[in-house]
Amino acid sequence: MKHDVKVIKHPLVDCHLTTLRDKATSGAGFRQAVKMLSTLLAYEATANLKTTVRPVETPIVTCDGHDLNRRVGLVPILRAGVAMVEPMLDLIPTSEVWHLGMYRDEATAQPVHYYSKLPEDSPVDVAFVLDPMLATGGSALMAIDSIKKWGVTEIKMLSIIASPEGIARLQNECPEVQVHTCVVDQRLNEDHFIVPGLGDAGDRIFNTIG
Ligand code: PRP
């Protein structure tokens, strides 16, 4: 695996991933596990965020404190990416949230772009693309393309589960984008679903299965 793909290795990640994979997990349980894993992904993906130092008065003495000095943008891909927003906002309350709407055409597996809230100027300093699933990589690439056109130069992709095919595509087509994921699964099947995978994250998050 190339250095620009970070896969979290942690026993708690393994346990929460098992909750996501289990088809018996309820919608509530699925959403909770997505939150936990998003927080862990965010912790890793924000490790190089720059801060400025300022004095802070504790009840005892004055010491160095830190403020985030970068404009952070969260770009969730509708629908499933929405579930990753709250845990990121909890960590970085000043983040701006810019939604992108995309779905995969069932027949072609090509992404269809149906909504964009991205502005035309004033790009953020760093953008985090949020989507629990990176399958063919088509949706992520389309999102990254829009964010680049906005003018953002530092983009990170956060997915909970990824396929080798999706990772390879991002590495080939936008190697400057760092990918953070909890696991790289075995493969895509003939329907372009991740195997073993977790099904359709959007449906499971929003109770729209069947
Ligand atoms: C899923 C998933 C990603 C996309 C991944 O969304 O949440 O957005 O597919 O597939 P890709 O890497 O092959 O593009 P889906 O199309 O099911 O839309 P939904 O979230 O609205 O259900």
CA 25 vs CA 18, 33, 199, 205, 209: distances in Å: 9, 10, 12, 11, 13
- Residue 2 is predicted with a pLDDT of 55
The answer to whether position 115 is within a domain reads: yes
114: β partners: none
Compute mean pLDDT per 10 residues along the chain, 210 residues long, and list them. 82 98 98 98 96 97 96 98 98 97 92 93 97 98 97 98 97 96 98 97 92
20 alpha carbon to ligand 1 midpoint, in Å?
16
Evaluate whether residue 11 is within a structural domain. Answer: yes
Catalytic annotation, pick one of 18, 108, 153, 208:
108
Indicate the angle between helix axes 27-45 and 11-21, nearest 10 degrees. Answer: 150
Q: Does residue 22 lie within any of the structural domains?
A: yes
- Please indicate, yes or no, if residue 95 is contained in any of the structural domains: yes
- State which H helix or E strand residue 45 sits in: helix 27-45
Return the ligand 1 atom nearest residue 135 CA. Answer: 12
Q: Which atom of ligand 1 is nearest to the CA of 109?
A: 13
State the closest ligand 1 atom to the C-alpha of 134, by its place in the atom list counted from 1: 12
Q: Is 200 a catalytic residue?
A: yes
- CA–CA separation, 13 vs 8, rounded Å? 7
Q: Cα–Cα distance between 74 and 76 in angstroms, integer?
A: 6
- Annotation says 104 is catalytic: yes
How do strand 178-184 and strand 5-7 relate by DSSP bridges? parallel
Atom of ligand 1 nearest to the CA of 136: 13
Rounded to whole angstroms, the Cα distance separating 138 from 25 reads 28
Burial class (CB in 10 A: 0-12, 13-18, 19+), 86: middle
Residue with tokens 């005892």: 60
Find the CATH number of the domain harbouring 125.
Answer: 3.40.50.2020
Q: Is 122 exposed, middle or buried (0-12, 13-18, 19+ CB in 10 A)?
A: exposed
> Which of 103, 105, 136 to mutate for ligand 1's pocket (most ligand atoms within 8 Å of CB)?
103
Distance CA 178, CA 153 (A): 12
pLDDT for 3 equals 58
CA–centroid distance, residue 133 to ligand 1 (Å): 7
1 lies in some domain: no
pTM for the whole structure? 0.96
User: How many angstroms separate the CA atoms of 114 and 101, rounded?
Assistant: 5
Domain for residue 169, yes or no? yes
CA distances from 202 to 77, 102, 103, 199, 209 (A): 10, 11, 10, 9, 9
C-alpha span between 205 and 210 (Å, rounded): 13
How many A from CA of 53 to the centre of ligand 1? 40
The predicted pLDDT at position 106 comes to 85
Q: Is residue 56 part of a domain?
A: no
In a domain, residue 112? The reply is: yes
**Residue 108 annotated to the active site:** yes
Ligand 1 shell residues, CB under 6 Å: 77-80, 102-104, 109, 111, 131-140, 166, 192, 200-202
Q: How many other C-beta atoms are found inside a 10 Å radius of the C-beta of residue 99?
A: 17
Pocket-testing residue among 78, 133, 163, 171, ligand 1, by greatest number of atoms within 8 A of Cβ: 133
- Total of domains in the chain: 1
Structural domain boundaries enclosing 131: 6-50+61-206
Task: State how beta strands 100-104 and 96-97 pair.
Answer: unpaired
